[in-house]
Amino acid sequence: MITARRRAERGAAAAFGLTAVAGVFIGVVYVMGGNTALLGIGLAVAFASLAVGLALWAQHLLPERAYVEEREPAPSPPRLREALAAELNRDDRPLAQAPLPRRMLMLALAVLAVVAVFPVRSLLFRVRDPARALAETPWRAGARVVDDTGRRLRPADIPPGGMVTVYPDGHVGAADAMAVLVRVDPALLALPAGREGWNVDGLVCYSKLCTHAGCPVGLFVQTTSQLACPCHQSAFDVLRGAVPVAGPAARPLPQLPLGVGADGLLVARGGFTAPVGAGYWRRK
């Protein structure tokens, strides 16, 4: 007859044996190129059987007993506290006895502590004024409109319902300059007052950076004439100056006044109507 203890002993031994086998397996798999799945299986089996063996051992082969350990009560006994107080006051009280040096020492340490924070400013060494950097983009009046390969665009390059990501010439890839050029039916356009002349035959241009948290507004839904942001599902109405119509974005996408140069190429007639991307405290 096999006792429970015997069975547990055998079980644990078998489990550790399996760990050893799995270990060899891991070695072989590694030498043969290290297939990810096989290595994972090997390691999982090795550690799982180790766990089983140890658990069997703890459960069945160790005496099951509840031990009791007393807690020492939390504040130290008065005798020890008095001893501590006496020790601290042994040579009178050095800090209390020399008030002037003590205060100056405090002052010295406080000044050092404040100055120690200054190097944080070093983290920013390329930019003078963050709010200015955020407000500016390379778009200027007369800047030619190019696509992401640097090709200069003519109005005819964008088909109806089409969308192209554009940059000012010479600044391809500049994150804050990124804009979208979309073509809509000019008859439907209802741009805010004062922007009537900003489109070229239904071509309008907006910053590509979502005004919520700055994701690129990458999707143009032709049926609704909306630009959609993949990050938190904001949508902007292209026909009405890209005002937000859904999602958490609260400000319209800044618009870029478009025009056509003497050479027939698309140009900007100024910068964006507002700072691009996510909002910030000093945003005007």
User: In this structure, what token pair is assigned to residue 166?
Assistant: 């554009």
Mask: binding to other proteins, 118-157, rule CB under 8 A, as x and -?
Answer: --xx-xxxxx--xx-xx-------------x---------
Nearest C-alpha neighbor of 139 from the set 58, 258, 253, 51: 258
CB of 49 to ligand FES, least distance (A): 48
Pick what 254 binds: ligand FES, other proteins, none; C-beta below 5 to 8 Å, kind-dependent. none
Q: Which of 231, 239, 245, 260 binds ligand FES (CB under 6 A)?
A: 231
The pair of structure tokens assigned to 29 is 């798999």
Sole window of 28-36, 104-112, 155-163, 191-199 interacting with other proteins (rule: CB under 8 A): 28-36
Between CA 146 and CA 139 the distance in angstroms is 12
Binding residues for ligand FES, how many (CB under 6 A)?
12
Site for other proteins in 82-121 (CB under 8 A): 120-121
Nearer to ligand FES, 198 or 236 (CB): 236
Find all residues with CB under 8 Å of 11, minimum gap 6, and list them.
52, 53, 56
- CB of 270 or CB of 279, closer to other proteins: 279
Q: Interface with ligand FES by CB under 6 A: which range of 27-35, 94-102, 179-187, 212-220? A: 212-220
**Helix or strand or coil: residue 215?**
coil
> Binding to ligand FES (CB under 6 A): which residues in 19-38?
none
Judged by beta carbon, residue 98 or residue 246, the one nearer other proteins is: 246
Comparing C-alpha atoms, which of 152, 200, 209, 137 is closest to residue 180? 209
What is the C-alpha separation between 199 and 130, in angstroms, rounded? 31
62 part of the interface to other proteins, by CB under 8 A = yes
Coil/strand/helix, residue 36? helix
Binds other proteins (CB under 8 A): choice among 106, 188, 246, 264: 246
Q: What whole-number distance in Å separates Cα of residue 109 and Cα of residue 87?
A: 26
Q: How far is the CB of 209 from ligand FES (least distance, A)?
A: 8
Burial label for 24, CB within 10 Å (0-12, 13-18, 19+), is: exposed
The stretch near other proteins (CB under 8 A) out of 88-96, 105-113, 149-157, 243-251 is 243-251
State yes or no: residue 248 binds other proteins (CB under 8 A): yes
Distance CA 236, CA 227 (A): 5
